[in-house]
Amino acid sequence: MNNQRNRAISVGTALANLPRPHGIRRIQGTMASLTPKSVRIVLLGCGGVGKTAMAVRFVTERYIGDYDPTLETIYRHSAIIDEQLINFEIMDTAGQEDNSLLLEDKCKWGECFIFVYDVTDKYSFDELSRLKFIASYTHSRMRHSYNPCWILIGNKSDLAEQERMVTVEEGRALAQDLGCHLFREISVKESPSDSCEVFEDLWRDFEKNNPRLPSSSQRRKMSYRIHDKIPVISSNASIKASETLKAIWESGDNSGYLTYNLTNNLRRLKSAPVLLTNEMNNHNNNKENALDNTRTIDSIPENVEECDSCGENGLKPESPITSEVSESEPMNVVHEKKTFFHPTLSRCKSLTKTFSSSLENVFSSIDLHRASSSGVSTPLTSSTSPSSSNSSLNEVVASTVVHGKSKSMDNGSVRGRSSSDTASMLKKRRNSVKPDDLMMVTMYHEHCRRNRAR
C-alpha cells in the first residue's frame, strides 16, 4: 500500500517536472495570483466616529444610519483587488472602551491599523495619539516578521462645511507625526466608494511593504485568544468578487478552470463555514457551543438610511456568491468535468475543531447510517440518535460521504458498502453534490481518524 502511494507520488512529481505547453503555463501563472491572501485589520478610534459604518459599508455597501455603540466584532469579507483574492478580517473595536490591556491584545492580533477620527470632533482627533502609541508599543514588543501598516482617516467630511473642527492640514500633519502611510478625509455616508478605496489602498500598502506576508502559525497564536472573545460575522456575499468572476467568464477568457478555481477559493475560505454556520444555527439544542459566537452578515440590523447624494439605500439584496456561481451555466459545465477541489486537511481540522460539538452528533449519526446500510455491526463511534433538526445536514453529509467514496477521494476510512436501495437513492442525489460538500467529507474522515486513534 505504502509502495503504491510512494510510486504515485514519484510519478506525480515526474509529471509536474515535465515541460508544459505555453497555454497551461500561462494559466498556472494567473492562478498563482489568485491564491487567496489574507490580512487582519483593526479599526481604532473614539466612539461615534464611524468605524462600524465604514466596515459595514465596505463589506455590504450598506450605510448604517443609526448609532449603536459597538461591543466588538470581526467582519470577514473577501474581495478581489488587482486580480488577487484577498480575505479581509476586520476588527471593529469599541470606541468607548478604556481598557488598554484588552486593546493590547487586539493590537497584537492586527497587521494593519486604521485610525479614524471625526472631522467635527476635536477630541476624537486628539485621542488618536494615545491609541497609536499603544498600538506601536505593542507591536514593537512582538517579534513580528512583517511591517504593520498604519493609516489615518478623517470621517464625516460631508459635515465639514458647517461643523468642521479639524482642518485637512491638521489631519495631514498628524498622519506624518504618527508615521501613518496614508491619510484621507472621507464620508462613509455620502460615498460608498470611499470606504472601499480605504481598504484597497491599505491592502496595497501592506503588500508593498511585506513581500512575505505573516505566516499562518504566527496568526494562529493570536486567533485562539481573540476569536473566543469576539463575535465573528462572515460576509456571505461579495458583489465585487462575483462581478469579477462574471467579467472573467464573459470576457471569453477560456479559463473555466481558472474561474472555477477562484470560485472554490471563495467557497473554501468563506462560504463553507457560512454553510455550516447556517445549518448549525438551526440546531438550537447546542446553544453553548462556539457557534453562538458566529453570525452571518444577514444578522446585521438593517437600520439603513437613504444616502442623500446617490439615493442608494443599500437594501438591494446581495446574492451569495455560492449560489450565483453554482447555478450558472458555465459552472455546471466545469462541474461535469468533475474538477473537484480537495480542501486542505489543516483547514478541515480547524473547522472540525470549531464545530466539533455539533458535528460529533451529525457524524455519529452518519456512522450509524453507514453501519446499517453496509451491514457492519459496530459503528465506528459510539453514537447518539440524530436529532430531527440535524436531519437535513445528515442527509447531505451521508450522501456526500458515500459519493466521495466513489470519487477517488482519499477514503481510507470510508469502507462501508451501501445496500441496493440506499445505493440507488444516493445515485439520484449524486448530481446535486457540490464541491462544498467535499469539505464535509474530509472533515468526516478526520473524525473517523480521530476515533480510530482513540
Quote the DSSP letter at residue 296: E
Residue of 121, 127, 158, 436 interacting with ligand GTP (CB under 6 A):
158
- Residue pair 74/94 in contact by the 8 Å Cβ criterion: no
Closest listed residue to residue 187, CA positions, set 179, 197, 178:
197
Distance in angstroms (rounded) separating the CA atoms of residues 267 and 15: 28
Q: Among the candidate windows 59-67, 78-86, 306-314, 398-406, which touches ligand GTP by CB under 6 A?
A: 59-67
Largest CA distance in the chain: 78
- The least distance separating ligand GTP from the CB of residue 61, rounded to whole angstroms, comes to 14
Spell out the residues 6+ positions from residue 360 whose beta carbon is closer than 8 angstroms to its own. Answer: 447
Residue of 39, 42, 49, 233 interacting with ligand GTP (CB under 6 A):
49
How many beta carbons lie within 10 A of that of residue 38, not counting itself?
A: 17
Q: Among the candidate windows 187-195, 262-270, 386-394, 411-419, which touches ligand GTP by CB under 6 A?
A: 187-195
> H helices within 290-374, ranges in order?
321-327, 329-336, 345-354, 356-374
Q: Which three cell numbers stand for residue 417?
A: 458498502
Q: Which three cell numbers stand for residue 265?
A: 477559493
Please tell me whether residue 106 binds ligand GTP under the rule CB under 6 A.
no
Q: Which three cell numbers stand for residue 388?
A: 430531527
Q: Among the candidate windows 64-72, 99-107, 174-182, 227-235, which touches ligand GTP by CB under 6 A?
A: 64-72
Distance in angstroms (rounded) separating the CA atoms of residues 214 and 39: 9
Q: Which is nearer to ligand GTP, 10 or 96 (CB)?
A: 96
Q: Among the candidate windows 22-30, 49-57, 313-321, 347-355, which touches ligand GTP by CB under 6 A?
A: 49-57
Cell 473537484 identifies what position? 340
Residue of 39, 41, 44, 52 interacting with ligand GTP (CB under 6 A):
52
Please tell me whether residue 119 binds ligand GTP under the rule CB under 6 A.
no
Residue of 47, 214, 330, 386 interacting with ligand GTP (CB under 6 A):
47
Please tell me whether residue 94 binds ligand GTP under the rule CB under 6 A.
yes
Distance in angstroms (rounded) separating the CA atoms of residues 391 and 394: 5
Q: Which is nearer to ligand GTP, 45 or 404 (CB)?
A: 45
Distance in angstroms (rounded) separating the CA atoms of residues 97 and 128: 14
- Number of residues in contact with ligand GTP under rule CB under 6 A: 24
Please tell me whether residue 398 binds ligand GTP under the rule CB under 6 A.
no
Q: Among the candidate windows 79-87, 183-191, 213-221, 400-408, which touches ligand GTP by CB under 6 A?
A: 183-191
Please tell me whether residue 67 binds ligand GTP under the rule CB under 6 A.
yes
Residues that bind ligand GTP (CB under 6 A): 45, 47-53, 64-67, 69-70, 94-96, 155-156, 158-159, 187-189
